Chain A
Amino acid sequence: MHYTFHWLPAFRALPDMLWGALVTLEIALLSMLLGVFFAVVLAVASNSPYRALRGAAASWVELARNTPALFQIYMAYFGLGSLGIHLDSFVALLAGITFNNAGYLAETFRGGLRAVPATQMRAARSLGMGQVQAFRLVVMPQMFRIVFYPLTNQMVWAILMTSLGVVVGLNSDLTGVTQELNVRSFRTFEYFALAAVIYYLLAKLVTVSARLMAWRLFRY
């Protein structure tokens, strides 16, 4: 082994990398919010009486689940580009991850909705609640409990997926910043090992805060 580790430049770059981590967290959070929205739409569409809607929802879900996330990001960046829709790398990454999240979460929500007994809805309705009211106050909270754990899992995956932004030229997230530092100095191992530690801490941050939230929300 003829290698001298140079950790100092990596630690000097730590503030830059932490700013990158913030961007990573931002993309992951945004993609989750948008993903949850589209997933609910997809879950509702897959139960709709219209065949075209069901078909569209099914193809979204199957495409998202059966192709690599990297492929979906490439499609958003290069594929849409040749249709004349030019997204910058941040938006393309966000679009790709959102597409992926929505596909996986739609299945989760469908399972969650099915797990709440139909009698709950009927009981709420016979107590005089409206359709929307019953859904919001009775069905939703129960469904949320069931999907909460898969939701936090998906959030961790979203953070891991943001690392793919670097392949479409994103240089502001944690991997992008690390790669920029790397091509300047070629201290690949030191920089990426530090990035790995930061990613690990980010993932732990998500799981720990989810656990705290679950403790607050589902205590009764």
Chain B
Amino acid sequence: MFSSLLDTSFSLNDLWFMLKGAGVTLALTFWAVIGGTLLGVVFGVVRAVSPWWINAPLGAVLDVFRSVPLLIQLVVANSFKTIVGINWPPFTVGCVVLALYMSAYCTEIVRSGFLAVPTTTRRAARSLGMSYWQDLSFIVFPIALRVALPSWIGLTLGVMKDTAMVWWIGIVELLRSSQVIVTRIQEPLFVLSIAGLIYFLMSFPIARLGARLEKRWRENE
């Protein structure tokens, strides 16, 4: 078994192919995080400040994205796209579904960050003569950011790992590219280990950074 690791038919070209797959993974993550965060911030603030008859339906709709497997969401979205006749490439479909998926989780993070700011702090800001928007941008935003950022980093990494599922709608990203190579050279353990290593290298440093931020900000409390 170990001899097969030494005289492998895995070539530099294969590694390049996998790194290109990793590039696709990062590109998907990038667009999903941009879209998901923008939507999540809007929805999160709306959920935190709106009356129940806006809050409850919005929450229920977003909850669907958290209660249905991403794989199923991708398949349903992809076939729905064909039905209504939108001519998007799979990559766009993947980005849109991942962004909506991320926005559902991001909404909850933003909302809990927003609600973590004590009402008394906000009242104090207002009675010092700040306007509503000044209160939001100089008081609520900095405090909520500290609460939300560590979870947001965790969510971003989660979405990066979940991009592995888009191969189902025909996108060759990191994990799929490793599968393609496995089909050719028949060394699943070795090739998958390399894929795993690349994922680990993309995720671990950022995860550590998040943990450190969380720790440091907690000390100030």
Residue in A68, A163, A199 whose beta carbon sits within 8 Å of that of B175 in the complex? A68
Number of interface residues of B (CB under 8 A): 40
Chain B contact residues: helix, strand, loop or mixed: helix
B64 pairs with A200, CB closer than 8 A: yes
Provide the residues of chain A in CB contact with B4, threshold 8 Å.
82
Residue of chain B at shortest CB distance from A166: B71
B118 contacts the other chain (CB 8 A): no
B71 pairs with A163, CB closer than 8 A: yes
Query: Number of A-B pairs whose CB atoms are under 8 Å?
Result: 110
Interface residues of B in 144-188 (CB under 8 A from A): 157, 161-165, 168, 175, 179, 182, 187-188
B189 pairs with A188, CB closer than 8 A: no
Known: A1-B83, A78-B182, A195-B72. A66 touches B203 (CB 8 A): yes
A83 pairs with B1, CB closer than 8 A: yes
Residue in B64, B69, B80, B196 whose beta carbon sits within 8 Å of that of A160 in the complex? B69
Residue of chain B at shortest CB distance from A78: B188
A67 contacts the other chain (CB 8 A): yes
Instruction: Give A99 Cβ to nearest chain B Cβ, in Å.
Output: 12
Instruction: Give A209 Cβ to nearest chain B Cβ, in Å.
Output: 14
Provide the residues of chain B in CB contact with A74, threshold 8 Å.
175, 179, 188, 192
Minimum-distance CB pairs A-B, first 7: A163-B69, A203-B67, A78-B188, A68-B164, A68-B161, A189-B79, A66-B203
Contact residues of B with A, CB < 8 Å? 1, 4, 64, 66-73, 75-76, 79-80, 83-85, 157, 161-165, 168, 175, 179, 182, 187-189, 192-193, 195-196, 199-200, 203-204, 207
Apart from A67-B200, A175-B69: 10 A-B pairs, beta carbons within 8 A: A66-B199, A68-B162, A78-B182, A82-B187, A159-B69, A160-B67, A160-B68, A166-B71, A188-B75, A199-B68
